[in-house]
């Protein structure tokens, strides 16, 4: 399995990189997808301080692994997600129908990375929300033909109380400054059929507020099914990201607040770490 990253040097130049053990090989391109299957030679290397978080020494900075032309998300793909959305909305028929239906729920999360951040950058919580949660997900990077190019970690940050008040409020619950995070790397897996384990931790300083795990093995829908519906009569650009849904939902008493830190780990890809801030500060 090979991992690819985007980094910035001390002069602000963006470069694509390939992770090779304890170092990142730097290439003369900004696009990690251009390295897939390419035999280009690196122009330099940078040591890795943490093999999972992929922290780099100053002045190097790890960025979001790509700037997706669009980021889409799938909902109610896990039983746990269905249960949570029924509970929050008290509209059981809506989410039961989606979970059991042939057609999945798909919605646009972002475009051109305007609301998406990378590792160590703050994710946002809305000022008019009372229950904000991370949604740890496997994110698929898709080609213009619908082929799977790579996978990364996604955090579909959501305002569950707003979504629960009325399903028509979904865009407001899902789309705002800092509402999506991707990283730390793109992974080209050896076997797309092998399940991905997903772990999430919410911390407040040294205190762990919430910790849980799931696996894509418990998804009701396959990657091919979700991507197939995404591409139906809907042209997408190379590098489009599809978040595949969450199987982890914190309890009602756990809500993201500025100062919290969210860590999402997917073995093979790494650990995506993001502090939490007010969305109004990120949008400023």
- Is residue 43 domain-shared with residue 92, that is, in the same domain? no
- Position 93 scores a pLDDT of 62
- Is residue 262 domain-shared with residue 278, that is, in the same domain? yes
- Is residue 96 domain-shared with residue 123, that is, in the same domain? yes
Distance, in Å, from the CA atom of 216 to the CA atom of 210, rounded to the nearest integer, reads 20
- Position 221 scores a pLDDT of 94
- Is residue 93 domain-shared with residue 198, that is, in the same domain? yes
Give me the domain span that covers residue 90. Answer: 70-283
Burial of residue 116 (number of CB atoms within 10 Å: 0-12, 13-18, 19+): buried
- Number of domains the chain contains: 2
- Cβ atoms of residues 121 and 274 within 8 Å: yes
- Is residue 38 domain-shared with residue 100, that is, in the same domain? no
- Position 86 scores a pLDDT of 52
- Is residue 136 domain-shared with residue 80, that is, in the same domain? yes
| Domain-terminating residue out of 16, 34, 62 | 62
Residue 278: CATH number of its domain = 3.90.850.10
Q: Closest Cα partner for 110 from 51, 148, 67?
A: 67
- Position 38 scores a pLDDT of 78
Directed axis angle between helix 92-100 and helix 79-89, to 10°?
160
CA angle 111, 74, 160 (to 5 degrees): 90
Collect all residues with Cβ–Cβ distance below 8 Å to 5 and sequence separation of at least 6.
16, 17, 18, 19, 24, 32, 54, 62, 63, 65, 184, 185, 186
- Is residue 139 domain-shared with residue 189, that is, in the same domain? yes
- Is residue 174 domain-shared with residue 241, that is, in the same domain? yes
Residues of the chain scoring pLDDT < 70: 80-93, 284
- Is residue 160 domain-shared with residue 217, that is, in the same domain? yes
- Is residue 239 domain-shared with residue 109, that is, in the same domain? yes
| Domain-terminating residue out of 62, 79, 107 | 62
- Is residue 9 domain-shared with residue 97, that is, in the same domain? no
- Is residue 36 domain-shared with residue 97, that is, in the same domain? no
| Domain-terminating residue out of 62, 83, 99 | 62
Total Cβ atoms within 10 A of residue 80? 17
């Amino acid at each position: 399995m090979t991992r690819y990253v985007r980094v910035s040097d001390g002069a602000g130049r963006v470069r694509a990189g390939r992770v090779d053990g304890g170092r990142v090989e730097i290439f003369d391109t900004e696009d990690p997808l251009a390295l897939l299957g390419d035999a280009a030679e690196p122009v330099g290397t940078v040591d890795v301080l943490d093999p999972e978080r992929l922290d780099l020494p100053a002045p190097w900075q790890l960025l979001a692994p790509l700037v997706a032309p669009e980021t889409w998300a799938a909902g109610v793909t896990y039983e746990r997600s269905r249960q949570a959305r029924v509970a929050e909305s008290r509209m059981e028929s809506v989410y039961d129908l989606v979970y059991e239906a042939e057609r999945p729920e798909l919605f646009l999360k972002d475009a051109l990375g305007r609301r998406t951040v990378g590792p160590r950058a703050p994710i946002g919580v809305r000022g008019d929300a009372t229950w904000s949660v991370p949604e740890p997900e496997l994110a698929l990077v898709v080609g213009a033909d619908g082929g799977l190019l790579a996978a990364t970690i996604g955090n579909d940050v959501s305002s569950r109380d707003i979504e629960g008040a009325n399903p028509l409020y979904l865009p407001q619950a899902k789309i705002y400054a800092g509402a999506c995070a991707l990283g730390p790397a793109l992974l080209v897996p050896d076997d797309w059929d092998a399940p991905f384990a997903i772990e999430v931790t919410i911390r407040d300083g040294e205190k762990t507020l919430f910790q849980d795990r799931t696996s894509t093995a418990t998804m009701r829908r396959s990657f091919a099914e979700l991507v197939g519906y995404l591409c139906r009569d809907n042209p997408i650009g190379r590098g489009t990201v599809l978040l595949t849904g969450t199987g982890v939902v914190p309890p009602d008493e756990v809500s993201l607040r500025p100062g919290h830190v969210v860590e999402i780990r997917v073995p093979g890809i790494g650990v995506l770490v993001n502090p939490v801030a007010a969305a109004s500060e990120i949008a400023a």
